[in-house]
Amino acid sequence: MTDDDRTPSPDPSPSPDPSPSSHLSSSPDPSPSSDLSSSSDLSLSSIPPFDDDAADTARDRQSELTKPPGSLGQLEDVAVAIAGLTGDPRPTLADPTVVVAAADHGVVDRGVSAYPQAVTRAMLRNFAAGGAAVSAIADIVGADVLVVDAGVDGPPIGTDGRGTTAVVDERIGAGTADISRGPAMSRADAVASLEAGVRTARTRLADAGLVALGEMGIGNTTVAAALTAALTGADPDRVTGPGTGVDEATRAHKVRVVERALERNGLERNGLDDSEDPDAVEVLRRVGGYEVGFLAGVALGCAADRTPVVVDGVVSGAAALVADAVAGDVRPYLLPSHVGNEPGHAVQLDALSLDPLFDHGLRLGEGSGAALALATYRAACRTHDRMATFAEAGIER
């Protein structure tokens, strides 16, 4: 769920192209932000390169299937690209899973959301009970939902007397600090959030053929805006949106909060020389969130296992930027879904060279757009795998 500004509070005091499809990343090279990746306290498995042989085999198969060449349009390109990512000439993308990570943010105290922080916890229970929008979408597209508490305010869900085993405990802390006053978390916690995501990818998501990144956290579009500005160099006003549709005065207040967060944390645009730029973990530490770090770790861990991940809206996009800054080799494994209504989302997609599949006017978050996109990616691979060739069907060309 995105945060929604309605009542501003007073300002606080001082390899070759990995993808034949235009929808997927058009650049195999690490992004400019990948120069931020140097970190001696984060250990990651290597991410395998795009498999050209598997892609070539898949491309040859496409030319033999019972259809006019190119008649399935970009579905054909997507199938070939996913073959190269997975290393399987006939990928199936079995057992898709939507990961919904939740956490709280101290910046809500600055009046950047119309909803109280308690809504994060309530929605976490709603996800676990299957009552959220992403729950319904995942059900219709045949995906599992993994609900994760990455750092919701209060005690762990399973120990507050109303617990449910449907929520996975990967808590780093009980919400981050207010980024407009200082760093969101310690460096150790930033590393821990990334490692928790990597660990989850290697264990609970080990059998998933495709993973969608979803989130929940009141105040998290403010954090996403700060991360996007810090990692892309975009102006805060350009990447900070109205959430669920508030007036311009409230959005302007939110912009000021983001600007202050960047200034207080030494991340203001053009405020650092290239040689002094903090690494990606440090950017996450200063203006990030536990769920953002967790999802970035999921992306990194999945990529190391040749599992593509589908990016959702602006918060998921911020996690993708962090993952790309930590290890640029992850980029080919980041698949687009929709056009988000938050302006920062377009900046993220451009920075990651991703062309969205559709625009349904979505602004919910949760992984809802990414869950919808699962159907397209799976359909591309199912037609590629299940269709008969002309020879198999006994049809002469």
The share of the chain scoring above pLDDT 90, in percent, equals: 78
Q: Give the pLDDT confidence score for residue 233 in this predicted structure.
A: 94
Token pair for 305: 């296992």
Q: Give the pLDDT confidence score for residue 260 in this predicted structure.
A: 96
Q: How does the average pLDDT of the chain come out, rounded?
A: 89
Q: Give the pLDDT confidence score for residue 271 in this predicted structure.
A: 41
Q: Give the pLDDT confidence score for residue 247 in this predicted structure.
A: 74
| Res. 27: pLDDT tops 60 | no
| Res. 13: pLDDT tops 60 | no
Q: Give the pLDDT confidence score for residue 39 in this predicted structure.
A: 57
| Angle between helix 314-326 and 280-287 (nearest 10) | 150
Q: Give the pLDDT confidence score for residue 148 in this predicted structure.
A: 97
Residue 317: partners with Cβ closer than 8 Å, 6 or more residues away = 224, 228, 311, 340, 344, 345, 348, 349, 352
Name the pTM for this structure: 0.90
* List 64, 366, 392, 396, catalytic entry: 366
- pLDDT one-digit tens code per residue, 265-323: 999 865 444 556 789 999 999 999 999 999 999 999 999 999 999 999 999 999 999 99
**Nearest residue to 231 via CA among 173, 292, 141, 176:** 292
| Res. 62: pLDDT tops 50 | yes
- Residue 167's region, left for phi above 0, alpha for psi from -120 to 50, else beta, is beta
Q: Give the pLDDT confidence score for residue 43 in this predicted structure.
A: 81
Cα 344 from Cα 234, distance rounded (Å): 9
Q: Give the pLDDT confidence score for residue 276 in this predicted structure.
A: 62
**Residue 366 known to be catalytic:** yes
| Res. 213: pLDDT tops 50 | yes
Q: Give the pLDDT confidence score for residue 30 in this predicted structure.
A: 39
What one-character-per-residue DSSP string does 112-125 give?
Answer: --SS-THHHHHHHH
The H or E element that residue 309 is part of is: strand 309-310
**What SS3 class is residue 162?**
coil
Cα 195 from Cα 324, distance rounded (Å): 15
What order do you get walking across the sheet with 167-169 strand by strand?
Answer: 167-169, 144-151, 97-103, 211-216, 309-310, 334-335
Q: Which stretch of 17-26, 106-115, 363-372, 378-387 has the lowest confidence by average pLDDT?
A: 17-26
Residue 44: partners with Cβ closer than 8 Å, 6 or more residues away = 198, 300, 304, 326, 327
Q: Hey, which residues does 335 pair with through a beta bridge?
A: 310
